[in-house]
Amino acid sequence: MNINNMKYVYFLILLTGFLFFSCTNEKESVDQSTFGYEYFPVSSGKVWTYQSDSIIYLSGGAKRDSVRSFIQEEIGDMYTDASGNQIFKIYRSFRRNNSDNWERINTWTVSMDNTSAVRTEENLKFIKLVFPFKKGLRWQGNAFLDTDIYIEAGGENIQAYKNWKSKIEATDLDYNFKGNTIKTVKVNLVSDTSIIDLRKVTEYYGQGIGLVRKEMTILDTDGNNPSQSWELKTKKGFIHTLTLLDVR
């Protein structure tokens, strides 16, 4: 090998080494504080209290029942599942009025890793957030679900989870919580309308807080009066809003 070739090989070795160390340093310098983990805090002992407001359609839409109650969620014990994932229990309590005592109703679960936050609600597993997130990011939030399943609402069966696809609708939204302005991220889980059904679900997550508001509209009709408003033509379904009152 002549001197010029040796110089060329030596140059390639130096260049490769430089690129390797540059990539290594770049990986080490990733700022995970920008990934959005603080919008979904998970730690034992954390407690959220929500006001729950529902409108439930009954008797083929002839009647509507409005219900207000309160829900409390507390992060409890942690365990490791068969796949090695750390799972936290969510102890959920209910009361009809503020003056009532809390009554334990069920236990859900939540888990979070570097790429996603997952909640199991009534044995239904949802991917609530993915990390890092940005405006416009989409993912299959109900990838673990059989989307053909029915749930019960007002004595009627309804397919609530068809055509869901989660999307980060907005980031850094201002939200007033207990007199303070906090930053929130808006997640659109579904926004789908046809001649016979309406599905619209939105969640808002506050920085350092978690879920601050959820809006859920699941309505069905018979398609006989397509020009009517949903308020008039709904035959079954519900409208539900969950609003955070306190967190500690």
Structure confidence by residue, pLDDT tens digits, 110-126: 999 999 999 999 999 99
pLDDT band (50, 70, 90) for residue 35: very high
Q: Is residue 115 within 8 Å of 144, Cβ to Cβ?
A: no
| Containing structural domain, residue 211 | 32-41+48-71+91-101+132-247
Shared domain for 160 and 176, answered yes or no, is: yes
SS3 101: coil
Portion of the chain with pLDDT greater than 90, in percent: 84
- The reply to whether 65 falls in a domain is yes
Expressed in angstroms, the distance from the first to the final Cα of the chain is 72
Shared domain for 23 and 61, answered yes or no, is: no
pLDDT band (50, 70, 90) for residue 83: confident
Q: Is residue 57 within 8 Å of 234, Cβ to Cβ?
A: yes
d(CA 51, CA 38): 23
Report, in this order, helix, strand and coil percent for the chain, each rounded to 5.
15, 50, 30
Please tell me the pTM assigned to this model. 0.86
Shared domain for 6 and 65, answered yes or no, is: no
DSSP run (H or E) holding 246 = strand 236-247
The closest alpha carbon to 138, from 112, 156, 160, 164, belongs to 164
Question: Which residues have CB under 8 Å from 125's CB, separation 6+?
Answer: 118, 119, 144, 145
Number of helices (H), then strands (E), in the chain: 2, 14
- The reply to whether 53 falls in a domain is yes
Shared domain for 61 and 3, answered yes or no, is: no
Q: How many other CB atoms are there within 10 angstroms of residue 198's CB atom?
A: 19
Domains held by the chain: number: 2
Shared domain for 151 and 220, answered yes or no, is: yes
Shared domain for 162 and 243, answered yes or no, is: yes
d(CA 68, CA 138): 32
pLDDT of 30 reads 55
- The reply to whether 80 falls in a domain is no
Shared domain for 138 and 185, answered yes or no, is: yes
d(CA 164, CA 189): 6
Shared domain for 3 and 96, answered yes or no, is: no
Portion of the chain with pLDDT greater than 70, in percent: 87
d(CA 238, CA 226): 19
Q: Output the six-digit token pair for 95.
A: 């009361």
pLDDT of 14 reads 40
149-171 confidence digits (pLDDT tens): 999 999 999 999 989 999 999 99
191-234 confidence digits (pLDDT tens): 999 999 999 999 999 999 999 999 999 999 999 999 999 999 99
- The reply to whether 106 falls in a domain is no
Q: Output the six-digit token pair for 13.
A: 């070795």
Chain Cα centroid distance, residue 157: 24
| Burial of residue 128, with CB atoms counted within 10 A of its CB: 0-12 exposed, 13-18 middle, 19 or more buried | buried
Shared domain for 36 and 20, answered yes or no, is: no
pLDDT of 26 reads 47
- The reply to whether 148 falls in a domain is yes
